Amino acid sequence: MKKEDDSTPAGSARINRTRARSWALQVHYQWDVSNGDTSLVEILDKVLSTRRVATARIPYMKRIAAGLDRYGDQVDAGLNSVLQNWRLDRLSVIDRAILRIAALEMLYFKDIPPKVSIYEGIRIAELYGGTESPAFVNGVLDALMTGIGQIS
C-alpha cells in the first residue's frame, strides 16, 4: 500500500487519521445495521454527500472503506481466530466496527504500526463503546498482533 503523504506535519496527519477513524466507525455502523446490503464505499459516498467532513480526512476514510470492502472476509477471519469464547457476529456493532478498522490497519496498512492501530482502537472504544469495550478491544487486538508476529 502507498504511504501517507509526508508533506503534512506529523501531528496534523495523526489527528486527521484519528478523526477519519471515528468517521469510518460511523460509516461502518450504518453498513452493519443495514446488514451489509451495500458496500462501505457506497455508504461513505452517501455520508460525504450529506455531512461536512474536513477534506484532509476523506482520503483515509476512503482507504478504510475500500480496504474493508476488499479484505473484510480476511479481517473477520483474523479476528475470529483470536476471539476466545466469542464470535464476531455476537459482539456489539460498535466493538465489531472498532475491531475491524484496527485489524484492517494491522493486517493490510503496512505504513501504520500495529501498536498505533491498537492505541487508536482503544481510544475510539473509550469514546464510543461500553464500559468494558476498551479492555476488550485491547485484548483482542493484542492477541491479533501477537498472532501475526508483528510485536516490535
5 domain-assigned:
no
First-to-last CA distance in the chain?
A: 20
DSSP 8-state class, residue 6: T
| Mean pLDDT over the full length of the chain | 88
104 domain-assigned:
yes
1 domain-assigned:
no
101 domain-assigned:
yes
Give the cell for residue 32: 452493519
Query: Which phi-psi region, left, alpha or beta, contains residue 36 (left: φ > 0; alpha: ψ -120 to 50)?
Result: left
- What percentage of the chain reaches a pLDDT higher than 70? 88
Counted domains in the chain: 1
85 domain-assigned:
yes
119 domain-assigned:
yes
3 domain-assigned:
no
Distance between CA atoms of 75 and 68, rounded to whole angstroms? 8
Q: Which domain holds residue 117?
A: 10-147
Predicted pLDDT at 15? 63
128 domain-assigned:
yes
pTM to 2 decimal places = 0.87
Predicted pLDDT at 12? 52
Asked if 17 and 109 touch (Cβ cutoff 8 Å), the reply is no
The CATH number of residue 47's host domain is 1.10.940.10
Distance between CA atoms of 97 and 108, rounded to whole angstroms? 16
